[in-house]
Amino acid sequence: MPALIIIAIVVAIGAIVAIANIRVVPQSYAFVIERLGTYKETWQTGLHVKIPFVDKISKQVSLKEKVADFPPQPVITRDNVTIRVDSIVFYQITDPKLYTYGVENPVIAIENLTATTLRNIIGDLELDHTLTSRDTINTQMRAVLDEATDPWGIKVGRVELKNIEPPREIQDAMEKQMKAERQRREAILRAEGEKASKILTAEGEKAKQITEAEGQKEAAILRAEAEKQARIRQAEGEAEAILDVQRARAEAIRLINAAHPNEGYLTLQSLEAFVRAADGKATKIIIPSEIQGIAGLVKSLAEVGKNESA
């Protein structure tokens, strides 16, 4: 009976020890295993069993990406200005073995390496360039830190400068400079606006004058064209009147010729024509001999008529 009790106790102890040496590695973790003080293997996610009193879990390593927010570091720029730089490093453990045995305190090592790298990079830059070159500084720091931490099994994914703080007097000077620059830009913009306004006004006046001149020119052309048309119509009217007179005279001559007038009628008509030509203004008229003869005959007939009447 005592033998059975001892066996049961041994079995129970063995079961407890076996269960205690069964371990489950959760997701995104890795366990570093040592056997008799020497690295044996790295357990990944899943169920594992270690040998009691021989194997030991040396370190449980998280494979998630971590964020290290370091306190501000004093850094001197190339133009001898001391600034304080606050940086953040995003890193991830890629090799648990190297992370466990590569460096004593990885976070402190990364912090010191970050401060040293900042001093080296910003020490070659002037203050103005430092304030405007964050992306360049971040890229250079990430490359340096990633290369330096690779033997430690660490992958640096990103580095950010959270804050760059110059001295108070430098900040005041920068604020005054920015204020003066904004005032200068405002003055330039106001001057450019006034200049543009004057140019537009002058162009408007010029366009107005050109339009008025073109209008006057067009009006003068229209008046000249109207006068020209009026003269043309007047000339055409006078020419038409002359043509009408000539047609009337031609018609009268045609009718006279058609009536076969005698020589005496023609002579009298000629005499009337001379009288009309004189129009009471001529002082001397030369009358052809044929017309003179007719005139004498007319005078003689008039005297004979008078005698007979007496």
The string of pLDDT tens digits covering residues 202-216 is 888 888 888 888 888
Mean pLDDT of 271-292: 55
In angstroms, rounded to a whole number, what is the distance separating the alpha carbons of residues 152 and 60?
16
Q: 0.95 cut: is pTM over it?
A: no
Q: Which of 255, 251, 254, 256 is nearest to 270 (CA)?
A: 256
* 233 has pLDDT over 60: yes
The token pair at 106 is 């990885």
| 20 or 74, higher pLDDT | 74
Mean pLDDT of 20-46: 89
* 40 has pLDDT over 80: yes
Q: Could you tell me the pLDDT band of residue 299, with boundaries at 50, 70 and 90? A: very low
Q: What is the pLDDT at residue 163?
A: 85
* 92 has pLDDT over 90: yes
**Beta strands per DSSP E along 63-115:** 66-69, 73-76, 82-93
Q: What is the pLDDT at residue 293?
A: 53
In angstroms, rounded to a whole number, what is the distance separating the alpha carbons of residues 99 and 93?
7
The token pair at 216 is 């006057």
* 286 has pLDDT over 60: no
Burial 136-175 (b: 16+ CB within 10 A, else e): ebbebbbebbbebbeebbbbbebbbbeebebeeeeeeeee
What average pLDDT does the structure give for the chain? 80
* 64 has pLDDT over 80: yes
Q: Could you tell me the pLDDT band of residue 190, with boundaries at 50, 70 and 90? A: confident
Q: Could you tell me the pLDDT band of residue 96, with boundaries at 50, 70 and 90? A: very high
* 283 has pLDDT over 80: no
Q: What is the pLDDT at residue 209?
A: 85
In angstroms, rounded to a whole number, what is the distance separating the alpha carbons of residues 228 and 135?
82
Q: What is the pLDDT at residue 93?
A: 92
| 170 or 184, higher pLDDT | 184
Q: What is the pLDDT at residue 298?
A: 45
Q: Could you tell me the pLDDT band of residue 125, with boundaries at 50, 70 and 90? A: confident
- Residue percentage of the chain with pLDDT more than 90: 16
Q: What is the pLDDT at residue 260?
A: 66
